[in-house]
Amino acid sequence: MEKTPARPKVSIHEHRLLVDSSKSKKLAAMATKSPAVSPRLSKAKTVSDCQSELQQAQQLIDARIHDIMNSFPQGRRNKLFSFRFGSIAAIHALEIKDAFKLLDIDYHHLNLRLLAANYHGDTV
């Protein structure tokens, strides 16, 4: 068997910057900028977006239930609602998308990818 010749080792030398970072505002800003700050802000924004979408979905569901209940006669509201849609607690336990379909609510203006939970925000 033939031995392969040893490869020469590669050494990397860093070159100094053409412009000193203390003399350039942009280079100083890039040096002090930390990459860990950006994802935290986006996560916080996503959480607040989820909460606002969840609150808007809850308001839509509550308003639709209220409208349906008011369309029934006074003494038979709960019974007629439960015959047609089930109990309010059962609707709250459904995934939000399913509750929207059951109650015939237009949900195309909401971001349902953020709302993979039930009425209370618990994942289903």
pLDDT at position 32 is 77
Beta strand spans in 2-120 (E): none
C-alpha to C-alpha distance for 97 and 108, rounded to whole angstroms: 10
pTM exceeds 0.85 for this model: no
Question: What is the tally of structural domains in the chain?
Answer: 1
pLDDT at residue 42 tops 60: no
Cα distance between residue 35 and residue 15, in whole Å: 23
* Domain assignment of residue 69, given as a range: 55-124
Mean of pLDDT values over 89-111: 88
**pLDDT tens-place string over residues 57-92:** 899 999 999 999 999 999 899 999 999 999 999 999
Under DSSP, the state recorded for 22 is T
Sign of the CA dihedral with 36 first, then 41, 46, and 48 last: positive
Give 88 or 16, the one with higher predicted confidence: 88
Cβ–Cβ under 8 Å, residues 93 and 119 = yes
7 phi/psi in degrees, rounded to 5? -80, 145
